[in-house]
Amino acid sequence: TQTQIQPQTQIQPQTQIQPALPPFQVSTNRGGLGPGHYVITPSNHFGSRLPDFASTVVKKLTTPRNGSARVAMYLLEIEPGGGTTRPTGDGFEHFLYALDGGLSGPFGEDAPASAFAFLPAGERFEVANRSASTARLIWVKRRYEAHPGVPDPAPVTGVAGPMTATPGSVPGVYRLELLPAEPSFDFAMSILSFDPGAVFPKVEIHDEEHVLYMLEGRGVYVLDRAHYEVGEDDFVYMAPYCPQYYYPGGLSRSAYLLYKDANRDGF
Ligand code: UGY
Ligand code: MN
């Protein structure tokens, strides 16, 4: 069975405030590494290739080689005509999120930006770019952690539509869950979005690991004792128990895609 995620509460689209802030300077290194965290910006990217992909530049934002991660996040830049050369993904569970439209894959043919798909462990996927421009895909991959008595999760596809408000969330902070909140799933994928000036309710310190990809806007991420200016297309890794706080900044809404391991006790 296939679960279709539907947005519930519509948030009013925000009026565009002009002028926009200037883009970050590519030559300015905002990236960095500290206790339990690192930040990678587009100016820090270094492209790799993977054997099951043709005409695709791979940015390995995190893998278990970082020492603590139990997850990988890749940014794939798939050129026109590029994509998988064979069904890929053997033995892992996967979450795919299209940053640009035009890709064909488990989320559908010629899918719009923000289409996504979850594939349970054991399923493989193919992806192709039949459009005329390069299209980017976020790929999250991890080993499934089964739990006795809990059924394995089913595939999920959807398109992350307008933001939905989570009951109990603070004013100006919205959270859209992309996967069902069921114990079958050993991770959550969410889109957190923030009105400018919204207050993140606390400095969090928790067992769960995060990988984060900035989808829009800008702000300041506090990781342990360090402050990082972050904006669209930046990546953040947070190890278990890394103190974390976000100051939404800029003149428009900011949003990020967030991975969090869930529903397991950490052993
Ligand atoms: O759910 C979370 O742990 C989330 N609030 N953390 C974060 O955005 N850094
Ligand atoms: Mn957190």
Q: What is the DSSP string of 49-86?
A: --TTEEEEEEEEEE-GGGSS-S-EEEEEEEEEEEEESS
Arithmetic mean of pLDDT, 20-26:
73
Confidence band for 5, pLDDT divided at 50, 70 and 90: low
pLDDT at 26: 64
Q: What is the pLDDT of residues 135-176, one digit of tens each?
A: 999 999 999 999 999 999 999 999 998 666 676 678 899 999
Contact between residue 235 and residue 37 where contact means Cβ atoms under 8 Å apart: no
Q: How would you classify the pairing of strands 156-159 and 3-4?
A: parallel
Tokens of residue 37, six digits: 């965290």
Does position 189 have pLDDT exceeding 60, yes or no? yes
Cβ burial of 8 (10 Å; 0-12, 13-18, 19+) is exposed
Q: What is the pLDDT of residues 65-91, one digit of tens each?
A: 999 999 999 999 999 999 999 999 999
* Ligand 1 pocket: which of 214, 258, 259 to mutate (most atoms within 8 A of CB): 258
Contact between residue 212 and residue 235 where contact means Cβ atoms under 8 Å apart: yes
Higher pLDDT, 7 or 51: 51
60 alpha carbon to ligand 2 midpoint, in Å? Answer: 22
Does position 4 have pLDDT exceeding 80, yes or no? no
What lies within 8 Å, CB to CB, of 156 at 6+ separation is: 2, 3, 5, 116, 117, 118, 178, 179, 180
Arithmetic mean of pLDDT, 226-245:
97
Cα–Cα nearest to 79, from 139, 128, 116: 128
pLDDT at 20: 67
Does position 23 have pLDDT exceeding 90, yes or no? no
Pocket of ligand 1 (CB under 6 A): 192, 204, 210, 244, 258, 260
Does position 125 have pLDDT exceeding 90, yes or no? yes
Grouping H, G, I as helix, E, B as strand and the rest as coil, residue 44 is helix
Does position 260 have pLDDT exceeding 90, yes or no? yes
Contact between residue 251 and residue 191 where contact means Cβ atoms under 8 Å apart: no
Q: What is the pLDDT of residues 51-63, one digit of tens each?
A: 999 999 999 999 9
pLDDT at 1: 62
**Which ligand is nearest to the Cα of residue 166, counting in written order?**
1
Q: What are the φ/ψ torsions at residue 256 (nearest 5 degrees)?
A: -140, 155
- What is the residue type of 184? S
pLDDT at 99: 98
Which domains occur in the chain, in start order? 31-261 (2.60.120.10)
ipTM at complex level: 0.99
Distance CA 14, CA 128 (A): 34
Contact between residue 57 and residue 21 where contact means Cβ atoms under 8 Å apart: no
CA 85 from centroid of its chain's CA atoms: 24
219 alpha carbon to ligand 1 midpoint, in Å? Answer: 15
The ligand 1 atom nearest the CA atom of 190: 1
Does position 243 have pLDDT exceeding 70, yes or no? yes
Q: Report how far apart, in Å, the C-alpha atoms of 136 and of each of 75, 94, 197, 260 are.
A: 7, 16, 30, 22
202 alpha carbon to ligand 1 midpoint, in Å? Answer: 10
Contact between residue 17 and residue 251 where contact means Cβ atoms under 8 Å apart: yes
Arithmetic mean of pLDDT, 19-25:
72
Higher pLDDT, 19 or 58: 58
Average pLDDT, the chain: 92
Arithmetic mean of pLDDT, 183-209:
94
Query: 102: number of CA atoms within 13 Å, CB side?
Result: 17
Looking up tokens 């990781």 gives 223
pLDDT at 242: 98
Q: Specify the residue with its C-alpha closest to ligand 1, atom 2.
A: 260
210 alpha carbon to ligand 2 midpoint, in Å? Answer: 7
Arithmetic mean of pLDDT, 176-204:
94
Tokens of residue 88, six digits: 């890929």
